[in-house]
Copies of this chain bind each other. A is one copy, B any other.
Amino acid sequence: MKIGYVQSSPIFGNKRKNFEQIEELITKKKADLIVLPELFATGYTFISRKEVDNLAEGKNGETANFLKDISKKTGAIIVGGFIEKVGDDIYNSALMILNKNIIGIYRKLHLYYKEKLWFKQGNLALNVFEIKGFKIGMMICFDWFFPETMRSLSLLGADIIAHPANLVLPYCQKAMVIRCLENRVYAVTSNRIGEEKRGSDNFLFTGASQITSYNGEVLSRAPSDELFLDFRDIKVINARNKKLNDYNDLFNDRRIDYYRL
C-alpha cells in the first residue's frame, strides 16, 4: 500500500489558487492514500466569524468536488480538511473521499486556540473507515495532543491515522513517533508551510509533514519550508499485530479496570 502526503502553502481565502497548488504538486501520481493539510483550501487565521462563514461549505461543496477530482486522477483515497457548514453550525472538518464517493467525515474534537471562537466542537463519533481493504481513521492537528484520540481510533481497528494539520507548535512530529509506537499503527501527518499574519496573530506553520511507522520509525519527513510531496510503501498487516514480543501484546496488556480516565 502506497501512502503519502502533500505539504502545501495555502494563500488565505483563495480556494482556486490553493486547489491549483495541490494539483500541480500531485500531477497524476498513483497512490492508495493521500493526505492533505487541515483547511488546505482556505487558510487558517481567521479574524471574524463572517470570514469563516464565507469560506464554509457543505459536504458536497467545491472542496469536496476538488477532492473527488484528485481522487479520480490518482486512484487514491484522499483525506483533506475543510470548513464544514451544517445549518448554522460550522466545524473544522476532514473529508475522506474515493472517486466520486464520500467515505467519511470527521469533525475536529479538540479545537486549538481561537478555533474555539469560530468552530463548534466536533460531535461525530470517532470512526474507522474500511476501504480497499485498509482501515483508516481521521484526526485533525491538535487532536494529537490528547492520547485518547489515536488510542480510540486504534482500538476501533485503524491501520493508519490520516492526520491533516496546520501545526504551529514544535512538538507534534516527535509525538507522532510515540503515538504510533504505543498503538502500533501507521500515521500520515500532512502539515502546511508558510506564514499568516492576520489580526493579532502571526502564525508560522512548521511543515515537516511526516509518515510514521507502527514501530515508531519516521519513514518520511518533509522540509519545514518547502512545498513537498512524498509517498512510502507500507504493509498494513504490521498494524494488525499488537505483539511487541512473545510476552507483550499492547492491547491485551491494557489494565482497563485500573485506569481512571
Contact = CB atoms under 8 A, between A and B. Distances in A.
Interface of A: 109-116, 121-122, 125-126, 142, 145-149, 151-152, 155-156, 171, 174-175, 177-179, 181-182, 216, 244-248, 250, 253-256, 258-261
User: How many copies of the polypeptide does the oligomer hold?
Assistant: 2
Nearest to A261: B261
B113 A259 contact: no
Contact of A177 (B155, B174, B248, B258): B174
A181 B254 CA distance: 22
A186 to B, nearest CB: 17
A139 to B, nearest CB: 11
A246 to B, nearest CB: 8
A242 to B, nearest CB: 12
A256 B146 CA distance: 11
A109 B259 CA distance: 10
Given A109-B255, A122-B255, A181-B171, A145 B261 contact: no
Contact of A113 (B147, B174, B248): B248
B260 A156 contact: yes
Given A113-B247, A116-B247, A147-B182, A258 B122 contact: yes
A165 to B, nearest CB: 16
Contacts of A245: 113
A174 B126 CA distance: 28
B260 A126 contact: yes
Contact of A109 (B114, B250, B258): B258
A188 to B, nearest CB: 19
Contacts of A250: 145-146
A253 B156 contact: no
Contacts of A174: 174, 177-178
Given A171-B181, A174-B177, A181-B171, A148 B109 contact: no
A226 B253 CA distance: 33
Contacts of A260: 125-126, 152, 155-156
| A-B CB proximity, top 10 nearest | A147-B147, A152-B260, A148-B259, A109-B255, A178-B178, A175-B178, A113-B247, A152-B259, A116-B247, A110-B253
